[in-house]
Structure formats: structure tokens, C-alpha cells
Structure 1
Amino acid sequence: MINKTSNKLNLILYIILSCPYFIMAQSILLNEDHSDWENVDLVSSDFDDGQFIDIRELKIANDDNYLFLRFSFDQEIILQDENDITLYLDIDNEITTGNSFNGMGADIIFNFGQKRGNFYGNQIFSIFHNDIGLISSPTVSSTEFEIGIKRQFDFTNLSMANDIKLFIRTSSFLGDYIPNEEEAASYQMKDNIPSFAGDYNIFPDPNADFRVMSYNVLRDQIFEPESKDAYSRILSTVKPDIFCFQEIYDHNATSLLNYLEDLDVINTIQEEWYAIKDGRDLITLSKYPIKFHREVFGNSFLVADVDGQDLIIINCHLPCCDNNNGREEEIDAILSFLRNGLEGNAPYPIISGTPYMILGDMNFVGFASQVESLLTGNIDDNYRFGDDVVLDWDDGLMTDVKPQTTGFPATFTWYNPFGSFSAGRLDYCIYTDATMEATNSYVLNTNGLSQSEIQETGLEIDDVNQASDHLPLIMDFKLLQTSTIDFSDEITIELSPNPFKDYLNIKSDNDVYSIQLIDNNGKIVFFKSLGAHLGKEINIQVTNHLKSGSYTAIIHTKNGYSSKPLIVVN
């Protein structure tokens, strides 16, 4: 008789012996989700001994390319702003080299709040985030942070030894230490731990319904001759169905559409494309008809018809840097506009179950509450913008995609080696997970692609550097359900003349919000939102040159929806 239990134990033992770090070590992904740190031992835990800021816990990990640190505080801070938090790192565990301090020789002393540090070798010289490959997460306020530092430094031929020491201090004046003063954390690098690989696919998921891209193109840089080829390769490779651009100030939507056709990114002869611009810099191109769009406090609200299904996209470019009030104001305005639409009191009433997403360059470098507002529907200024809103159709939170950056154990979307801030996540996509699913997503960074990926895609290593300081976000979505309209028999609607040719009169017993015409294949062939021109008797011109035949008119009124047959004669 075969002993199945013995065979299972032998198999498990074989796996463990074949992979020495199967249990003891795992790859870390800097994505604001700390679950991958659960099996990493605490290096130090020290509560309530800080004068001003109390640093509480420290964990250390590594992979073949990065040293990772996770540390926490007793209060929310912004890591790269207005603090004196400093990392002391002895890269060779040798007290005779570097700056002798706290029982070790600190080769690198880096101040996160000042966003700079020093390297202590034969000479002392200044270093910045790009010199040590620093990645920090999150960019917003938090009590917990995780960072990555490259083990091989770009500014010198030195690299970290297998044995290192480090500590963190919150201030040079009465600051808290972790580990405590007169101590340092010793760490031995673990071998053969590849960086977090991820499961993204650069090419579109064949099982998804559509692909959307968000891309800040750095003040019309996409039109510059020196960037043209890089953009052509990037956009031709990712092939989104919907392009959402930020920072196109000096060109209109038609100019961009024609330009991308010249670059062979799209082909308007083979398929029709739609282009709109809202605000100062937001352009959306879509292979699906755009039924409605409106600027909302500088951001773009649009409705695309994805094979008969409404898809709402809010393309955003929120205020940057330390303008927390401006960001909060625009977030409140977006949430207020959504709430009014969900309640049927907006220029475009939102039908129950309609999928929607909020994406773009959010510039989230301030308060974490701003991110939370887009997940929860919490409006900061209720006096100006009204009540909070329940955003997702299952009454739960919206979902933050957090796509991985290609070739990096992180989710950063912005990187400027000449800027003062380290790589971080500024660009977001937040969506209704009750109505659609992100089946594949990534942030394209050509610097991290393997040689086989370069050959397969035709991209070049330096493409994203030539294009912008932001990286493109690419998401594939599958629709989980379609929105439904509840029709009412109690609404009185009269359409005349019927049959009609160009002009149609709509008469109702209450205000009319919108009308759409649907052909016999279920396709929306005409849509008009009446916006501020509400009324009980409306005369509209249908300009879509409809073919003669029978259609269904769906009229949205203050009291609900009504459906009427309609005949077109041309």
C-alpha cells in the first residue's frame, strides 16, 4: 500500500530543500500593502520613548537588487516634507570607514525631509535620491512607510556588503532612535531572492472588454521632435482603446488625434475615433463614441458608449505640490458631481450599475485623507459641496488598482533623476469593483524591461525617459454587469411628429433631462443631455443623419425613465 502522507511530506521537504528561502524570505513589493512583511522578523520594536515623534517598529528585508526598510511612527507624517528623519547606513559593517557614529561607521547619512544626504568615503560629497536608487512609499501622509535602496550605487562603483548596519533617527535634537541610542541594527543579506516579478502582461488581455491608459505627457512634450519616436513606440505597444492624457495645454483634441495618426498609433480609416478636451490640459481619445462630456472644476467627466454600455471616466489633473486645499476642493467637486448624477440631479444622470473610474495625475503628496475621499466618498467641505456619497454599487469602497511598475519591485508612476523628490506614486486609477474588474494592469517603465521584452515589444530602454517624467498607467477591464434602467408606466410622454425627419418635439408632465435613440441592434445612435435647458416641452434637432427605420427613444425625466417607439423617415 502506498503511503500518501509520506509522499506529501517528501514533496514538501524537497521543495523546501530546493528553495532555501521558501519559508524564510520572500520578495517585497512597495505598494502600500504591508502583507508581504508579515513573515519578516521585527528588528526593533520600541514604543513611547520619543520626545516629539516616536519611531516604533523597524523591519529589514532584501532581494537581489534592493535593500528594503519598513518603519512606523506614532503619528502621521509626510516622509519627504518638513521632518528631520534620517537614515544612517553602514554599507560594509566596518566602523573604521564612514562617519563614526552610534557605534558604527555610517557610509551614507540621508535626511528624508531635506531629500538629500552625504556619502562618507575618501571624500565627503552630497548625494540625492537618484544616487542611491531610493523608492519611497507612500507619497502621502502615513504612520507606516516602506522604502527601497539599490544595493549597487549609481554614483560610485561601490555596493552594499552582505553584512550591514543601520539605524534611523527622528531628529538631531532630542530625537528618537530605532534601535535605541548606542545601538545599531545588524542585517545579513539573503541570497537568491529575485525581485517581485508580478503577473502583468504588456499586451492587452484577450479576455478583457477594453484597455484604458492614463498618461501625463509633460507640457505637450509628446509633440516635441526629440520625443516623437519614443511616444510612437510606447503608444503603439500598449494599444489602449481609450487614451486619457494630462498636460496637453497648447494643442486641441483634433490636433492630437491627427498627430497620433501620423505616428501610426491609430488608424481612423480602419476604425472611427472620438476626441474631446476639457479644462486646460485634459484630452481623451476613444474608439468608443463619447456621448457626453463636461468640465468639472478643471477635470474632465465623460461618458463613453462601450458596445451599448455606459462607461464613465473622470480624467483628472489635480493641483500639485503643497496645494492641499486646491486638491481637496477639486476632489469635493468631483464627488459632488458624481453624487448629483447618482441621484439623477445632474446634466448626465447615472443609471444604476453604470461602471465608472477616476484616474489621472492626482499629485497625491499631501494628506492621505484625499486618497481616502475617492475610495469612500467622504466630502471634506460639506457646507459648499453637500453630503457625502456612497460611490460603489455594492455600497462598499472603490478599488485602487495600484499597478506594478515594470521591472521594479514597486508601484511608482513618477520619476525624475534631476528632481528633489524620489520615485513615487502620483498617478491613480480608482474604479467601481462591483461593475468591472481590472484583469491586467501595469505602469510601463522601459528602464526595467528585460532584453526579451525589449525584443518582443520593439521598445527601447530609454523611451520613457525621452517622453515624460510620468509613466503611463495601463489597465485592462472586464465588465461584470450592465447598467439597467427601470422604466415607469406612470410617466406621460408625447413624441411628435412620429414619423419624423430632423426635428422632434418632446412633451412631458415633468422636466426632461435627456433623450437617447437606440437602433434595432441595441446600439445608441443618438444622445442629447439637456443640461440647464430643462423643461416639460422640448424641441430638439437630431443631427446624426439617421437611416430610415424604427428606433426606441429612451427619455429620462425628473420622475424616471420612459421608453417610446419612434420612426425616422429620411
Structure 2
Amino acid sequence: MMVLGHVPALPADSQPIRLDGRFEDWDDTKPVLAPSHNTLIRSLRVTNGKDNIFLAVQLNREVTIQTENPLTLLADTDQDPSTGLRVGSFGADVQYKFGSLEAIRYVDGVPTSVPHPEIGISWAPTFSSDRYEISLPLELFGKPGPDRVITLAVAELQDIQATATIVSHRTSRPDATLRELSLEKLSTPHVRILTMNVLYDSLFKKPDTYERIFRALDPDILLLSEVFTHSSDQVIALLDERFPAQNPERRWYGFGRPGKVTISKYPFLATDVILEDLYTVIDVPGFDDGLFVINTHLQCCDYDEMRQEKVDAILGNLRSSREDTYSILYQYQDRPLVLSGDLNLVGESRPYYSLVEGVNADLSAALASTAPTSSKSLVEAVSYHTNTPFTFTWKDDELKWPPGKLDFTFFTVPDINLGKSFVLYTPDMDPDTLRRYGLRESDSLDASDHLPHIVDIAPGKDAPRIR
């Protein structure tokens, strides 16, 4: 048995959907319930933005969407029920099998595998969950515009006909739209932190591209990973030549080990390497006793346990900071803390929730602290592209995975206040904006497969949150 629902146009007071794995912005969209016998799918919501169709899928259990699971998405892209794979009363011209990362087009009734960029699919979160947001470009369904009926379904592969939850959505011109976020750094007392995986030392292979990016973003602190064959002194020399620090000395300070480098226009009060991560205390104006910064890089791909072990180790180090009197963590305990890097959260959700809940996976709830330190908690700086509703920080169309959010920045509250934060994705920026900042459309993806992630922070509650 299939369920068919119709979703009306967005109400005027609704907020724009953002593909961030958070669902408060879906409150105005009515769900269509799945057939009661479905083992995986509970409900489906559909709406549209200016350029994208969005789906919110609620599941009956937590799954990792890009690994083994039976979830599939079907879309009628030509409004012709006689074409494509017949599903109930509509014909699906496009199908996506999440568990195998397979995009399929039906041409003359014949299924043909196509690269995922051809259908433009993306989703959030990237790690395991019992609900997901999914996006497809409206241009996949023909010329974008209001009052077009788009039919989509989610189903379970073992029996598509019996499990399909179908929604017929009439597109509207959204009243709530995203405003473009400028790249300018917030004024004092904010400090700007740039986090970026520079893909096998590409900073040195494409210095012109990075110079344009750094000049446009004007960071005060840079947390770089995949700097394997160059030292922090070599990074400093390149920056001093291409992008001099805006401080009285006109020079950068650096600390690094193979794989990671932390660069700052402010001097370091202390540095250490713990389990290959860079622990630094930086003499940042406004942070009277220094800002504690951890530059980390977790294992990629299928190594869930290794990611969890590293997160457990970080939390364990923070909790034991009051015990080891020789540790940088003891000597600078209770400083405002930023933890940032390429966390590669593509499997289980445990590492993410361990960080935001401060719970070590190897400790019982009764023994675990509810925060990474005795009086603080870590929160995520959720960051969007400057003028589109996406949060992905990684994109490589040559690989089988659609764009995903791999890079994260966390900070302690209440002693840090988040100002402006964003992800720089130049292909979606308009030509006038690119010219204004001296950027090129290709810069973000030419530099690396990871995008620059910017966070402006200030001490305490000195500034409002800007999104």
C-alpha cells in the first residue's frame, strides 16, 4: 500500500529551509505518514526554496544513510506517468539508492547509472541519524518556477511498490529568502579563525589561489591540516610573502607537526602535541589569559572506532587537566577553548554527540561529566554558505560521495560568544561579489576538496550571533 500526500505552498511567515540536519525550520510543513507496515520510513515532508526542492525524511531507526540501508528516493522529473519506473500513479525518471550511493536515470524505461552530480543530490547530517534532510536542484525537474507540480517518493528497496511514501508538491515562490552574508570580519573584540584541510600541501602548489582566499577572508588564526611535507616555518614564509600578518611585527607565528599547522598573528603562550593534535594557547586580545585552541584531524571513511577513540581521548585529556601538573591542560585549565578541524564525521553519530554532550563513550553516564570541563560545555558553530542554504564543507565530483559536512568548529560557552560564521563556496557567489572580494568562481574547489570554514568569536557575550 502506498501513501500519497499533497503539500501546499509555503505560508508567508515560514522561514527558509537550510540543509543543516536541524529541523526547526520544517515546523510549517505538514508531514505525510508512511504506510503503517513500513519498517524503516515513518514520514516525509517536501517543500521548495528558490533553487532547490527539499525533503525531510523521518525514520523508525537510526541509519547511516550512505552505507548499507534499503532507503531509496524516486522523482518524476517530466510530469509524465508513462515514463520511467512506474511507482503507483507516477513514473520515476530518477532514482537514488542511498545505501549503495547509486544514481539512476530511466531512459526509455531502461535504468542507467549516472554520476551523482548529474542529479545534484545532497543531504544532512552526514553521520548516522533517524532523520535526514535531502536536497535536489529544481532545474532537475525542468525550468524552475512557481505552480509546478513535482512528485517524489521515498521507499524501501525490497518492495518499492508497497513501501513508497509519495508526495505531490506544488512549487511556490518562497516569501522567506536567504540574505547574502558578507565576508567582512566583525570588528574588535572579534578574532577570526579559518579552518581548512589544504589537501596534500596544495597551499604550496596553488599559492595564487590561496592568496586570493586569505586576502578575501582576512583570518587572524589559521588551523590547517594535510600539511605533510612543509614545516610551520615554511608556511609562515609563504604567508609573510603573500599575505603578511596585520600586526605591528608584520609577521606570523606558527606551530606544527607533519599533518597539521596552527598559524596566528598573535604570539603563542604555550604549545604542545598530544596524540598528534596541536594544543596551543594564543595571546589573543580580549581573552585575558589566552585562548586555548585544539587543531585536530580525525580518521576518514569507515574508521568509526578510531574517530570515537580520538574524541574519547580529547575529552579524557580535558577532564584530567586538573591532575597532571606538567600538562599544558593543567597550566592553562579553564581557558576559553576552541576545538576545530576536519573531523570526518561520516559514520556513527557517537563522536559528534560525545563532543556536544561531553560524554566519553567508555564511561557510564553515572561517571561521565556532562561537560568537557567542570563548568563549561562545547557547542558547535553551525556555519552556512554565504548565499545558499547549504552547510557542506567537502565536495569532489570525481568521487562517489555527494557533498558533505566534514569540518567542524566547537567552542566553549559561556566564555566565548559566536559572531559571524560561514563556509566559503565561490561557485555559488555572484560575479559582482566575487569581483568585490578579488575572488574567482573556481577558487574554493581549485584550492582543495575541503572548503574554507570561518568563525568569528569574541570573549563572553560581547557580540550577537550573526547568521
TM norm structure 2: 0.89
Q: Which residue of 2 aligns with 1:188?
A: 170
Instruction: Calculate percent identity across the aligned residue pairs.
Output: 26
1:14-66: CA deviation from partner (whole Å, max 9, x where unpaired): xxxxxx95536542001122010001111x1137512xx42001000001200
Contact 1:68 1:146 in 2 (8 A): yes
| Residue 451 of structure 1: how far off its partner (Å) | 2.5
Q: Which residue of 1 aligns with 2:451?
A: 471
**Structure 1 position 213 matched with structure 2 position 213:** no
**Structure 1 position 58 matched with structure 2 position 44:** yes
Q: How does 1:437-516 map to 2 (within 5 A)?
A: 437-480=417-460
- 2:361 pairs, out of 356, 375, 380, with 380
Distance 2:142 2:149 in 1: 18
Q: Which residue of 1 aligns with 2:118?
A: 131
Change (3 A) 1:196 1:440: same
**Structure 1 position 300 matched with structure 2 position 300:** no
| Residue 481 of structure 1: how far off its partner (Å) | 7.7
| Residue 443 of structure 1: how far off its partner (Å) | 0.5
Q: How does 1:75-86 map to 2 (within 5 A)?
A: 75-86=61-72
Distance 1:481 1:116 in 2: 47
Amino acid at match of 1:102: G
| Residue 113 of structure 1: how far off its partner (Å) | 1.2
Distance 1:219 1:391 in 2: 34
- 2:150 pairs, out of 164, 167, 190, with 164
Q: Which residue of 2 aligns with 1:365?
A: 346
Change (3 A) 1:150 1:132: same
Amino acid at match of 2:280: L
Deviating more after overlay: 302-311 vs 374-383: 374-383
Q: Which residue of 1 aligns with 2:5?
A: none
| Residue 439 of structure 1: how far off its partner (Å) | 0.7
Contact 1:57 1:73 in 2 (8 A): yes
Query: Any idea what SS the aligned residue of 1:319 has?
Result: coil
**Structure 1 position 242 matched with structure 2 position 221:** yes
| Residue 158 of structure 1: how far off its partner (Å) | 7.0
Q: Which residue of 1 aligns with 2:314?
A: 334
Change (3 A) 1:157 1:49: closer
1:464-505: CA deviation from partner (whole Å, max 9, x where unpaired): 1110000011011110189xxxxxxxxxxxxxxxxxxxxxxx
Distance 1:214 1:347 in 2: 25
Query: Any idea what SS the aligned residue of 2:456 has?
Result: strand
Amino acid at match of 2:33: S
Contact 1:257 1:285 in 2 (8 A): yes
Distance 1:391 1:350 in 2: 19
- 1:39 pairs, out of 6, 25, 28, with 28
- 1:434 pairs, out of 414, 437, 459, with 414
| Residue 116 of structure 1: how far off its partner (Å) | 1.6
The runs of 5 or more residues in structure 2 that have no matched partner are 1-8, 463-467
Amino acid at match of 1:191: R
Amino acid at match of 2:170: Q
Contact 2:281 2:293 in 1 (8 A): yes
Deviating more after overlay: 332-341 vs 247-256: 332-341
Change (3 A) 1:87 1:215: same
Distance 2:326 2:177 in 1: 47
- 2:100 pairs, out of 111, 114, 117, with 114
Query: Any idea what SS the aligned residue of 2:435 has?
Result: helix
Distance 1:125 1:47 in 2: 29
| Residue 352 of structure 1: how far off its partner (Å) | 6.1
Contact 1:443 1:471 in 2 (8 A): yes
Q: Which residue of 2 aligns with 1:74?
A: 60
Contact 2:54 2:135 in 1 (8 A): yes
Q: Which residue of 2 aligns with 1:568?
A: none
| Residue 207 of structure 1: how far off its partner (Å) | 4.1
- 1:356 pairs, out of 323, 333, 337, with 337
Contact 2:10 2:29 in 1 (8 A): no
The runs of 5 or more residues in structure 1 that have no matched partner are 1-19, 483-570
Q: Give the greater-gyration-radius structure (CA).
A: 1
| Residue 173 of structure 1: how far off its partner (Å) | 4.7
Q: Which residue of 2 aligns with 1:313?
A: 293
Q: Which residue of 2 aligns with 1:501?
A: none
| Residue 208 of structure 1: how far off its partner (Å) | 3.6
| Residue 325 of structure 1: how far off its partner (Å) | 1.0
Change (3 A) 1:72 1:379: same
Contact 1:407 1:445 in 2 (8 A): no
RMSD of equivalent CA atoms: 2.6
Change (3 A) 1:94 1:194: farther
| Residue 115 of structure 1: how far off its partner (Å) | 1.0
Distance 1:22 1:141 in 2: 31
1:171-202: CA deviation from partner (whole Å, max 9, x where unpaired): 225886242xxxx321111125575336x431
How many residue pairs end up in the alignment?
448
Amino acid at match of 1:75: R
Contact 1:353 1:481 in 2 (8 A): no
Q: Which has the higher contact order (CA 8 A, sep 6+)?
A: 2
